[in-house]
Amino acid sequence: MSRRIYWKITIPIMALLLLAIALVILVKNKSIDIISALIIIVTFFILIAILLALQITRPVMEITKAAEEIAGGKLDQQIPVRTNDEIGRLAHAFNEMSQSLQQTMATILDERSNLETVLSNLTDGIVMTDPEEKILLANPAAERLFNFKEINITGHSLIEALHDYEIDEMVKKSISSGGEQTAQLESNGRFLRVVAVPISPGKSYATLVLFQDLTELKNMQTMRRELIGNISHDLRTPLAGIKAMVETLQDTAINDKKATLNFLTRIDNEVDRLTQMVTELTELSRIESGRAELQKKPININFLIQEVISQMSPLVDSHRLIITTSLNPNVPIINIDKDRIRQTIVNLIHNAIKFNHPGGKILISTSYDVTFVIVDVADTGTGISEVDIPHIFERFYKADKARSQGGSGLGLAIAKHTIQAHGGNISVKSEEGKGSTFSFNLPIGANTNSLNQQNLTKI
């Protein structure tokens, strides 16, 4: 016991003893009766007891109340330190503990916030389960992959949330073996790489399950295989034709001038076709990779369309087609790469010619709204089947009817990427046997909309 507390208790007791002695003397001298003396002693004793209780128990009660507040989550509790005795040191230690708890809790909350931020921004799905395969947490990427909400599946079994027995078996195996399990599988329409890692070593394991969505990568690999196959197919045909014609010339037709000229013309056509394919592949690659810089300048799209129609009139006439226009004279001037948009229009009109019937019609129209200038190329040709429409802008894709009519199958793919590079979109509406309408739009820039259209010369 400290000296301070010792004197706090000793002094009142000594005062009480002195009072008792004084009262005894007074009783002996008959200055006061015994009952009065006892009453005075008892009263004084009670006052001293109350005083001692307040001095000792009040700090204890303050500490008790503060401890209860901390237990309720209020960590910012401080107790006034009034003395330097044991109770004062206890109060000081309590205050230090409170501050330490606040700092520790703040650190824990920061770490939890950082963890939540990491989990929320991970592109890979994360699900954590306890040893009974009950879900403890799941991040937003996992929610998107499996179409659930963490709040709805926490505490539920993994199979209830994912509805995938292969993943469930992987986690069971990871828990039972205490080792990492990895697999690639299809789940919920996606191709996933799943890694189940046991955590919390001991008699039982919780499990952290990682889901990497490889769907896009797998699609790219499939597209690459198809691209190689398509290139091989489209290169093999003209090369085989060239080789056959060269062998024929070498064997029999070298002395026949007319036959030689015919074969050389055909070989030249095949070489031109190969050259066009390589050129288009190079251009498509440059556009897709972003290496093709757009040489933009203010252009009147109506003038550009009229120029292309004039250029392609002989081809239209040779196919006995009728081409008409409906060009809005108020279409705003737009900033575009003239040569690339010209090639897009050429490709669309060329397809409208190639897949049309003698006597068929082609209508080219322009319009605009607040945001875009819109170009439509409509024909009354063979149309496109519903099966082909979703794939018509893919590289090397050709509808069956188109394969016999040549072409590299790259024109529409180049058109799509050209329009998208300008910030626009291209689409098609078609009904088999009744024709097609290809539409693309180009953004109206604020810096081009105000240009004086009359001051622009025709392209």
Classify 376 as helix, strand or coil: strand
Per-residue model confidence (pLDDT) at position 160: 85
Task: Specify the pairing of strand 425-431 against strand 361-368.
Answer: unpaired
Per-residue model confidence (pLDDT) at position 352: 92
pLDDT one-digit tens code per residue, 414-425:
888 889 888 999
Cα→Cα distances 3→15, 57, 60, 415, Å: 18, 18, 19, 96
C-alpha dihedral, 421 to 427 to 432 to 434, nearest 10°: -110
CA 390-395-397 angle, to 5 degrees, is: 60
DSSP assignment letter at 454? G
pLDDT one-digit tens code per residue, 428-441:
999 888 899 999 99
Average pLDDT of span 44-60: 66
DSSP sequence for 256-311: -HHHHHHHHHHHHHHHHHHHHHHHHHHHHHHHHHT-S---EEEE-HHHHHHHHHHH
CB 404 within 8 A of CB 274: no
> What is the C-alpha separation between 431 and 386, in angstroms, rounded?
8
CB 362 within 8 A of CB 316: yes
Residue 31, token pair as written in the block? 């200055």
- The percent of residues above 90 in pLDDT, for the chain, comes to 17
Taking 60 as the threshold, does the pLDDT of residue 4 lie above it? Answer: no
pTM for this entry: 0.50
In one-letter notation, the amino acid at residue 421 is A
